[in-house]
Amino acid sequence: MSLEQEKITACEHAKALLNNNSLFIDRVTSLSYIGNRIYGQCWETEFHVFGLIASEADHLPLEKVRQFCSQDFLEKSDKEVSELIGLYSQDIGNACRAILSKFSNV
């Protein structure tokens, strides 16, 4: 994916996260990877919080593997995702707005 396409995808994920928390783990993980590809590493950039959450949530299932998980595991995972959202919601909103401000003109 080109650098321009990475920025467009980052804006798409940022807009989606500002609107709702669907596909939260997938979007956070993707934004962490995009930050790494744009900057070499996401730390100390507008993608920092996504790297932090992705590292805390690396044991939680992405959408494509949820079908293979037990109901009990999914319930525990969803509870943990809700806790992460509550803990980081303000930082996520700020980071999403920073991404849109910086890259939405691409």
Instruction: Give the 3-state secondary structure of residue 21.
Output: coil
Q: Is the distance from CB of 57 to CB of 80 less than 8 angstroms?
A: yes
- What does the block give as tokens for 74? 């999914």
Q: How confident is the model at residue 102 (pLDDT cuts 50, 70, 90)?
A: very high
Alpha helices, H only, 20-105: 24-39, 48-56, 71-103
Angle at 28 between CA 43 and CA 71, to 5 degrees: 140
Which helix (H) or strand (E) is 27 found in, with range? Answer: helix 24-39
Mean pLDDT of the chain, nearest integer: 96
Q: How confident is the model at residue 1 (pLDDT cuts 50, 70, 90)?
A: confident
Instruction: For 73-86, write each residue's pLDDT tens digit.
Output: 999 999 999 999 99
What pLDDT is attached to residue 105? Answer: 82
Assessment of whether the complete model's pTM goes beyond 0.75: yes
